[in-house]
Structure 1
Amino acid sequence: MNASTLWQNYLHLKAAEPKIRARDAAARLGVSEAELVAADPLSTTLFPKWADILGALEVLGPVMTLTRNEAAVHEKTGIYANVSIQGEMGLALNPEIDLRFFLHSWRYGFALRGERPSIQFFDRHGDAVHKIFLTPLSDAAAYDELVSRYASSHACVEVDLQREAANEQPDAAIDLAAFRQGWLNLQDTHDFFPLLRRFGLRRPQALRLAPQGYVRPVTLESVSLLLHAAARTQLSIMVFAGNHGCLQIHTGPVNKIVPMGPWLNVLDPGFNLHLRMDLFAHAYVVRKPTRDGEVTSLECYDAAGELIVQFFGERKPGKPELAAWAELALSLPDLELAHAA
């Protein structure tokens, strides 16, 4: 299907369903979202100078950033500053826009003009990894200049339809004693991923094989209970959501918790979170040792074992986690007890 035909088909679908999202429309049309975006007459392909583009976004002023996976959409509004890239890894460290980049996954970039001007990045499968939307307070002239600076005439999108199967190695192949000791020896939460890589473990398998007492399966209702309790007590929490190309973080309280059909939403000024709860399959309260004491999280996974969202209490390096957060995590309903009841 050529770009012109694809775009006409999209316009017909949009006319019938005005509220349909680009991601869902692309799936209905049998293409990737990147292909649909590339077909938009108002889109401009960008050179794959990801570090340069990310580093130039501060001039836009306040923007809304969106990072998502199939079951979680994480939106933050703020200034896109303090970007640091080293090789294929990077971060943006700001009170509002707090991001981690894994640029080896990034393949395509576009600027979209129109009602909601934006810059959008996609992986080799054509799936969105990160989006930046202008707000009414953004500098439109700076946006135009940035797009002109990085515009490319190469508009071809060739998505890779092959997706790697996420296979676990047999438990018997794992040196369980060494892995569990490695868990107990953790000094920082950032050491957890290198531990997984060292033993060739996916996260769900690692949680299943964790040292006794460090992982507790809880009910999926725990997500709603946690958010409502945090809102009621104004407990400052951290919410991590993203994909293999970008991780986005909210730190602070939450206030307005609104269920809508399968979605559980946080609808606050500057922070929106949308969780599609019918795609949640497993939830765990996880404890990890650090040099500052234990750190507790609620981790949620889909049926394929992909991480959807993580919740922590707000914490700073060198300080123990909030006692109120640990108490809340401890109070979440145990899955086995719920089944027994």
Structure 2
Amino acid sequence: MTRTADPESLYHTFHALKAERRLRNRDAAAALGISEGEAIACGVGRDAIRLRGPFEALFQRMPELGEVMVLTRNEAAVHEKTGQFETMSGNAHVGLALGSVIDLRIFYGQWMHGYAVTDETPRGTSLSFQFYDRHGDAVHKVFSRAGTKLDAWHALVAAYTAEHQQPGEPVELRSTEPEAETPLAAIDADAFRRDWLAMQDTHDFFPLLRRHKVSRRQAMQLAPDGHAERLDNALSRPLLEQAAAQSVSIMCFVGNPGMIQIHTGPVHRIEVMGNWLNVLDPGFNLHLRHDLVAETWLVRKPTSDGIVTSVELLDASGETIALFFGERKPGKPEREDWRALVRQVCQSTDTVAA
């Protein structure tokens, strides 16, 4: 089932609400009962330009833009990195953006709508590329910054401007029924545990889930002894604060079905503002709605380089909010300072759940 909104009236209502309540696009759209993608599409012909696919071809050209800020989010976490695109690879379905700062895992099959957007903000004009899924939820955004090559930006917009520039975009409504999980009794738990223990790489984990038809939350419940421990949801704050205090270099993954964005390196400035736990560093911002974290797990995965330890945050539906690892490269064992940090935080804050 799809929904089509009246673009003219919605555009004015959306922007009036944004101005009145000083809301971000996503929050203003939610207040109106629509998706952010629908709200942006209503601005086509005004402050948005509809882009044509294939979006993989457009995205492969991001290195031409110089310095940008990339943003990937889900319902409970926002991940922002400022830098330059470097090495791009992939096909129409999946892709990689690898570099010293910007590090992305891209799933183009989820990218249904794209726009070049111009926003007037108190800090000046903001240019962005914004991509949405079939439900109108944001998959990924790329924002201009001081070091952006604007001539290249405008040339890229011109090259991928769609012929159809009428405002509005129908979106597919989400099912109100949660996706059914395989009943635990129907899962061969022994076979699942054997395959878990046979993993050679952390990238083997998703195929493991798919092969046994288990959700991530079920995987935690069925994990071999000592390989998944439920933690208190208060862990994220001391974990980040102690990583900053001890200069432990971490990896932070935040994603949605169309994109995974990764930060690798130290964190410094950790602040709590209301329900948001924030990393506010030059070049890297993380905003985490700690009140939406329903489960926190300490997970140990076997690899050819030894055990790799992660702290994994899930929401109420069992979807991944964020993953934290110690910084590592394939072929090297996990950093001992990361393991020590995790042990210390769990012990000192009494965070292991009963």
Under TM normalisation by the shorter chain, which class is it?
Answer: over 0.9
In 2: Cα distance, 1:64 partner to 1:217 partner = 34
1:216 maps to what in 2? 229
In 1: Cα distance, 2:315 partner to 2:184 partner = 21
Q: Is the 8 A contact 1:313 1:321 kept in 2?
A: yes
Deviates more, 1:46-55 or 1:224-233: 46-55
Q: Is the 8 A contact 2:94 2:107 kept in 1?
A: yes
Q: Normalising by the residue count of structure 2, what TM-score does the alignment of the two structures yield?
A: 0.93
C-alpha deviation, 1:181, in angstroms: 0.2
In 2: Cα distance, 1:67 partner to 1:281 partner = 21
Q: Is the 8 A contact 2:196 2:224 kept in 1?
A: yes
- Considering only aligned residues, what root-mean-square deviation do their CA atoms show, in Å? 1.5
Q: Is the 8 A contact 2:275 2:291 kept in 1?
A: yes
C-alpha deviation, 1:201, in angstroms: 0.7
In 1: Cα distance, 2:353 partner to 2:151 partner = 58
Q: The residue matched to 2:341 in structure 1 has which SS? A: helix
Given candidates 318, 324, 339, the residue that maps to 1:311 is 324
Deviates more, 1:169-178 or 1:258-267: 169-178
Given candidates 261, 280, 283, the residue that maps to 1:267 is 280
Q: Is the 8 A contact 1:55 1:81 kept in 2?
A: no
Number of residues of Structure 1 aligned to a counterpart in Structure 2:
339
C-alpha deviation, 1:109, in angstroms: 0.3
In 2: Cα distance, 1:183 partner to 1:98 partner = 26
C-alpha deviation, 1:132, in angstroms: 0.1
The one-letter code sitting in structure 2 at the alignment partner of 1:5 is S
Asked if residue 7 in structure 1 is aligned to residue 34 in structure 2, the reply is no
2:164 maps to what in 1? 154
In 2: Cα distance, 1:176 partner to 1:29 partner = 45
In 1: Cα distance, 2:132 partner to 2:18 partner = 22
* Structure 1 consecutive aligned stretches of length 4 or more whose deviation exceeds 4 Å: 334-340
C-alpha deviation, 1:165, in angstroms: 2.7
Given candidates 57, 61, 65, the residue that maps to 2:66 is 61
Deviates more, 1:85-94 or 1:229-238: 85-94
| Unaligned 5+ runs, structure 1 | none
Q: Is the 8 A contact 1:218 1:332 kept in 2?
A: no
Q: After the TM superposition, which residues 74-113 of structure 1 pair with which residues of structure 2 at under 5 Å, given as runs? A: 74-113=79-118
C-alpha deviation, 1:84, in angstroms: 0.7
C-alpha deviation, 1:87, in angstroms: 3.7
The one-letter code sitting in structure 1 at the alignment partner of 2:302 is P
In 1: Cα distance, 2:40 partner to 2:15 partner = 12
| Unaligned 5+ runs, structure 2 | 120-124
2:336 maps to what in 1? 323
Asked if residue 34 in structure 1 is aligned to residue 54 in structure 2, the reply is no
Given candidates 286, 290, 310, the residue that maps to 2:299 is 286
Deviates more, 1:34-43 or 1:156-165: 156-165
Q: Is the 8 A contact 1:63 1:78 kept in 2?
A: yes
2:192 maps to what in 1? 179
Q: The residue matched to 2:148 in structure 1 has which SS? A: coil
Deviates more, 1:330-339 or 1:204-213: 330-339
1:116 maps to what in 2? 126
In 2: Cα distance, 1:135 partner to 1:337 partner = 40
Deviates more, 1:68-77 or 1:137-146: 137-146
Identity of paired residues, percent? 49
Q: The residue matched to 1:278 in structure 2 has which SS? A: helix
C-alpha deviation, 1:86, in angstroms: 2.6
- Label 1:177 to 1:268 Cα distance change in 2 as closer, same or farther (>3 A): same
In 1: Cα distance, 2:181 partner to 2:318 partner = 10
C-alpha deviation, 1:195, in angstroms: 0.5
